[in-house]
């Protein structure tokens, strides 16, 4: 992984692969049967384009037609080297580091897509739908399966989970995804969100973090700023 | 659009945005109600990662678990400059050119995803799922809405359509997608497939083309080559 500047993973990334339903308490709040999650074999995989990234100072903008925009705080994995059909027991070698990410979701549009059997691309992949924080080196988070992950809206705690509760682990996800889709240096995997997702409105400030390693803050644009 | 080498759009591209259900005859063969397509407002949008691209000489590989792999020949639009919230009447200015593309689809896995309200990412986005041909300059295809689009398997004609039958036009699609997702130079939009999609098996050769402008040929890897 030498020679790459992973501080700039947002510029390096060729894709964002995301995982749905990876925390049992969030699965419950979304009304899914817990049993479907317990079948530890097939994670739910979707994508956001890299045009969805925003970084500190940029604002989250509602996509056209969305009336119900949700925050989902997630631990993001930053891939360190090309990963294709990687065995689970070697997968951690492909991790350059991590980031705090928000998987912003047009929940109303996603629910409609689910009902109609249609793709999640627009509800999940619209511009500004992936606010991310700075790069966290792998050696700063030695155990990615034992860290607090939290999200506040206007100072009020909404999500307070721990990565201990992930159903599919970091190496399992890398191994599983890389069976289908080759991952490249800088690519980001969003590992799913714990319970507590909720709607935000124009002017809200979302703060989120992973333990005491990294904290991010993003504002939701006001209607008159929505350009 | 000066200064960019669109011959190498595969390397330039940051994403592949694809359109489902854009030809009435294909909608019918897939068993959808024609009425849903006639509502000319909301195209079905999904994505493939750029890791899905293959070019002449590379082989199409079945993704893990897939037993029913389909070809879909499509006209691909290659974007020429950054497109964000582009009005339909200006959208053609954002087209650098076109390509012949195959939207390879793990139909069994896509059908399962549809039934369960899950994303189409793996059934549509696996490695080798987007074979493409050479770049066709915009001035070589002055009317993209009046060209034959065809696909043969082992020499037998399977798809024989015309882009006249597209429900959503090239400028409409650019305008619609760019309301949600910013497009960058080299990005590819797959515009949907006409009727005649069918299953391929290991060793099959798929040929496809757009009028007499471009013709591609890709082989489906044999089982013993599936690395
Ligand atoms: Mg999420
Ligand atoms: Mg790139
Ligand atoms: Mg298609």
Beta carbons of A119 and B14 less than 8 Å apart: no
Which residues place a Cβ less than 5 A from the ion ligand 3?
B 72, 103, 193
Which ligand has the nearest atom to the CA of A17? Answer: 1
- Does A45 lie at the interface with B, CB-CB under 8 angstroms? yes
pLDDT at position A72 over 90: yes
CB B116 within 8 A of CB B106: no
Number of residues written out for chain B: 227
Residues of A in contact with B183 (CB under 8 A): 51
Residues of A in contact with B44 (CB under 8 A): 118-119
Q: What ipTM, to 2 d.p.?
A: 0.95
CA-nearest residue to B52 within chain A is A181
Which pLDDT does position B28 carry in this prediction? 81
- Does A44 lie at the interface with B, CB-CB under 8 angstroms? yes
Residues of A in contact with B175 (CB under 8 A): none
Cα–Cα distance between A173 and B3 in angstroms, integer? 40
**B83 pairs with which residues across the strands?**
B183
Which pLDDT does position A227 carry in this prediction? 59
CB B104 within 8 A of CB B13: no
pLDDT at position A226 over 80: no
Beta carbons of A181 and B84 less than 8 Å apart: no
Q: Is B103 exposed, middle or buried (0-12, 13-18, 19+ CB in 10 A)?
A: buried
Which pLDDT does position B103 carry in this prediction? 98
CB B171 within 8 A of CB B216: no
How close is the Cα of A99 to the center of ligand 2, in Å? 19
Quick one: average pLDDT of A91-108?
Answer: 98
Q: pLDDT tens digits for B15-68?
A: 999 999 999 888 888 887 655 544 557 899 999 999 999 999 999 999 999 999
**B76 pairs with which residues across the strands?**
B99, B190
Q: Is B57 exposed, middle or buried (0-12, 13-18, 19+ CB in 10 A)?
A: exposed
B84 Cα to chain A: minimum distance (Å): 10
More confident residue, B112 or B26: B112
Beta carbons of A181 and B126 less than 8 Å apart: yes
Residues of B in contact with A84 (CB under 8 A): 127
What's the mean pLDDT when you consider all of chain A?
Answer: 94
Cα–Cα distance between B164 and B145 in angstroms, integer? 5
Which pLDDT does position B45 carry in this prediction? 98
Which pLDDT does position B185 carry in this prediction? 98
Beta carbons of B15 and A49 less than 8 Å apart: yes
Residue B80: how many other CB atoms lie within 10 Å: 23
Residue B87: how many other CB atoms lie within 10 Å: 10
Q: pLDDT tens digits for A183-221?
A: 999 999 999 999 999 999 999 999 999 999 999 999 999
Q: pLDDT tens digits for A3-50?
A: 789 999 999 999 999 999 999 888 888 887 655 544 557 899 999 999
Confidence of residue B174 (pLDDT cuts 50, 70, 90): very high
- Does B222 lie at the interface with A, CB-CB under 8 angstroms? no
Which pLDDT does position A4 carry in this prediction? 85
Which pLDDT does position A150 carry in this prediction? 98
Percentage of chain A beyond pLDDT 70 is: 95
Cα–Cα distance between B80 and B96 in angstroms, integer? 4
Superfamily of B6-126+144-225 according to CATH: Fumarylacetoacetase-like, C-terminal domain (3.90.850.10)
CB A120 within 8 A of CB A44: no
Q: Which of A11, A121, A186 to probe by mutation at the B interface, max B CB count within 10 Å?
A: A121
Q: How many A×B Cβ pairs under 8 Å?
A: 100
CB A101 within 8 A of CB A129: no
* Architecture of the structural domain at A6-97+109-225: Alpha-Beta Complex (3.90)
């Amino acid at each position: 992984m030498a020679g790459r500047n992973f501080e700039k993973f947002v510029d390096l990334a060729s894709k964002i692969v995301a995982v749905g339903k990876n925390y049992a308490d969030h699965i419950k709040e979304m009304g899914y049967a817990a049993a479907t999650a317990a079948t530890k074999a097939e994670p739910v995989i979707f994508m956001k384009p890299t045009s969805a990234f925003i970084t500190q100072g940029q604002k989250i903008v509602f996509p056209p037609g969305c009336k119900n925009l949700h925050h989902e705080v997630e631990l993001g994995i930053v891939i360190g080297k090309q990963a294709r059909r990687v065995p689970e027991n070697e997968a951690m070698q492909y991790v350059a580091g991590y980031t705090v990410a928000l998987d912003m979701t047009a929940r109303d549009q996603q629910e409609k897509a689910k009902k109609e059997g249609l793709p999640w691309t627009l509800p999940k992949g619209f511009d500004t739908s992936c606010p991310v924080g700075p790069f966290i080196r792998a050696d700063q988070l030695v155990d990615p399966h034992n860290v607090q992950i939290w999200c506040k809206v206007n100072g009020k705690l909404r999500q307070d989970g721990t990565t201990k509760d992930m159903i599919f682990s970091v190496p399992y996800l890398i191994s599983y995804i890389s069976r289908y889709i080759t991952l490249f240096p800088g690519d980001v995997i969003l590992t799913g969100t714990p319970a507590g997702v909720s709607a935000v409105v124009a002017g809200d400030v979302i703060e989120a973090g992973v333990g005491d390693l990294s904290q991010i803050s993003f504002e939701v644009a006001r209607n008159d700023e929505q350009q």
